[in-house]
């Protein structure tokens, strides 16, 4: 029977429930168990697809086209398991489903209430992830205990534990033990109050994960154990880590996986974290840096590009480099100011996005990369901006544009597919999820991937206009990856450039810390090579300067 682990949080938000849930997933998978993660989010939006990135961060996309919370990205990166849309459940999707059932008459005239109708819907979403092929489902409850919008989820997980039997359910509470400098001590009272609040909802935590800015001693552990009625070995220290990928190792040292397996009677083999430990050690040992600039309009909230940043970190670590990330606001890019922003970068990434704001700055950055031989990687909108830039600068169509930004452009090098001209329902016209691409023999992307057919995740509406394909190729652009039916451009590159690659997809969603994505490895490798070439030039120029 599938076992269920529920992760809640208290005291303050952003304590790291998602990282804790992801880390536990990694630990259990390293013991040979089959694990799937899930996030319950209390907001009333149906999904994050239409939410402002400044408020919510990036939208993570699953293979089956689910637009989900960014915590699913953490789950996938830590566990290596590709999740599906069922792993993200919002209050909005729950209420929408309940109302639709009520309108259809599914409830046979019952008065529809939070209990049992809403809680039953939540439990159905959790139960759906279990099965004969899954040993453990780890479900994170978003928000903080005490939030009014989280109450139906807390009630649902309480009921669920009774439904399946307490031997098959385990509750983990992530809480804060702050250090008070004036008294020079760690305070457990916030944790005590948070656990008391959770217990008032009928949930008695089996494990308490203690977040703190320093290690906790046995005295603190015993105090939490006594006042919160949890055995001492189930009070797990989770001090701040320099790298989030160290967290599974810290939690394993604290005995989290052992406590979970014992409590749920899970029979496993010995844990094997050899590859993970080597990855963390290699990243920490890197001393030389590589400077990569991300040009975007949401740079004030780095979580808007979280998967891009993590993919760059994965690639840099794999090449024994420390990532020196430069955030470049695309709206501030104009004329000579653009050159000032980009001076000194060894690689440039243009990430995805929607809307016209900041697009001209991205186009200027691409021109700078193209003309100065700076390694460049375009993602989704980054590919579209690259096509626009080449159409303007090389094909001499100064008015070339995307119909997303200028519906009346005389040269719509980026346009909607014929089947996508009805934008009446937001999200309903996008190409979402996993799609194949065929890579051209002899191309750089074919060399990087090492195979002809690749699958990447997409989230976009606009495509390269096929009417301009021949002109773009004549201008030196290689259409190096196409959809299998040859109708959609998936990858482009410039032949006479150290590294100029763009894709219509979002490869950042499939990069893993112990298995970095080849496109990001290619970019960082080219950036490292650029520094080496510049060093050779400096040596040649040195006698002249003296």
Q: How many CA atoms lie within 13 A of 268 on its CB side?
A: 24
Is residue 508 annotated as a catalytic residue, yes or no?
Answer: yes
Sign of the Cα torsion 221, 224, 230, 235 reads negative
How far is 421 from 463, CA to CA, in rounded Å? 12
163: left (phi over 0), alpha (psi -120 to 50) or beta: alpha
Is residue 121 annotated as a catalytic residue, yes or no?
Answer: no
Helix (H, G, I), strand (E, B) or coil at 108: coil
Long-range interactions of 355-360: CB distance < 8 A, separation 24+: 355/404, 356/404, 356/405, 357/297, 357/331, 358/296, 358/297, 358/329, 358/330, 358/331, 358/333, 359/330, 359/385, 359/405, 360/330, 360/333, 360/334
Are the beta carbons of 458 and 61 closer than 8 angstroms?
yes
Kindly name the residue from 380, 385, 397, 404 that is annotated as catalytic. Answer: 380
Q: What's CA 16's distance to the chain center, in Å?
A: 14
Instruction: For residue 14, count other CB atoms closer than 10 A to its CB.
Output: 9
Are the beta carbons of 56 and 7 closer than 8 angstroms?
no
Instruction: For residue 449, count other CB atoms closer than 10 A to its CB.
Output: 21
Active site residue ranges: 380, 506, 508
């Amino acid at each position: 029977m599938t076992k269920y682990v529920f992760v809640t949080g208290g005291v303050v938000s952003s304590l790291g429930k998602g990282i804790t849930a992801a880390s536990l997933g990694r630990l259990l998978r390293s013991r040979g168990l089959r694990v799937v993660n899930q996030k319950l989010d209390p907001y009333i939006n149906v999904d994050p697809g239409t939410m402002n990135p400044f408020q919510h961060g990036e939208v993570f996309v699953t293979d089956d086209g689910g637009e989900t919370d960014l915590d699913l990205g953490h789950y996938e990166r830590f566990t290596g398991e590709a999740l599906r849309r069922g792993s993200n459940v919002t209050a909005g999707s729950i209420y929408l489903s309940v109302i639709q059932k009520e309108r259809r008459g599914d409830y046979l005239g019952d008065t529809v209430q939070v209990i049992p109708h809403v809680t039953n819907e939540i439990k159905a979403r959790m139960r759906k992830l279990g099965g004969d092929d899954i040993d453990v489902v780890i479900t994170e409850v978003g928000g903080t205990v005490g939030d009014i919008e989280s109450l139906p989820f807390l009630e649902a997980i309480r009921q669920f534990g009774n439904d399946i039997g307490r031997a098959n359910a385990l509750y983990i509470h992530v809480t804060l033990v702050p250090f008070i400098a004036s008294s020079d001590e760690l305070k457990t009272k916030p944790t005590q109050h948070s656990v008391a609040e959770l217990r008032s909802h009928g949930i008695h935590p089996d494990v308490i994960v203690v977040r703190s800015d320093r290690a906790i001693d046995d005295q603190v552990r015993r105090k939490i154990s006594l006042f919160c009625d949890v055995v001492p070995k189930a009070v797990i220290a989770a001090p701040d880590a320099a790298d989030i990928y160290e967290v599974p190792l810290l939690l394993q040292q604290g005995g989290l996986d052992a406590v979970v397996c014992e409590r749920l009677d899970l029979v496993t083999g010995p844990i094997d974290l050899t590859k993970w430990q080597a990855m963390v050690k290699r990243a920490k040992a890197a001393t030389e840096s590589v400077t990569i600039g991300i040009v975007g309009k949401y740079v004030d909230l780095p979580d808007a590009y979280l998967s891009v940043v993590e993919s760059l970190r994965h690639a840099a670590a794999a090449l024994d480099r420390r990532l020196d990330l430069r955030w470049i606001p695309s709206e501030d890019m104009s004329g000579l100011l653009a050159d000032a922003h980009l001076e000194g970068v060894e690689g440039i990434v243009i990430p995805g996005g929607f809307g016209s704001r900041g697009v001209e700055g991205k186009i200027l950055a691409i021109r700078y990369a193209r003309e100065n031989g700076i390694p460049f990687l375009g993602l989704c909108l980054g590919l579209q901006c690259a096509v626009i830039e080449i159409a303007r600068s090389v094909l001499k169509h100064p008015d070339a544009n995307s119909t997303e930004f200028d519906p009346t452009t005389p040269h719509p090098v980026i346009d909607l597919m014929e089947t996508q001209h009805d934008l009446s329902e937001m999200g309903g016209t996008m190409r979402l999820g996993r799609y194949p691409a065929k890579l051209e023999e002899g191309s750089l992307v074919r060399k990087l991937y090492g195979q002809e057919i690749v699958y990447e995740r997409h989230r976009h509406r606009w495509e390269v206009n096929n009417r301009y394909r021949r002109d773009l190729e004549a201008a030196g652009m290689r259409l190096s990856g196409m959809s299998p039916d040859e109708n959609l451009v998936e990858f482009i590159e410039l032949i006479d450039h150290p590294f100029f690659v763009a894709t219509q997809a979002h490869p950042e969603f499939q990069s893993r810390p112990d298995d970095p994505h080849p496109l990001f490895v290619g970019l960082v490798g080219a950036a490292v090579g650029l520094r080496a070439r510049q060093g050779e030039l400096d040596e040649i120029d040195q006698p002249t300067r003296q």
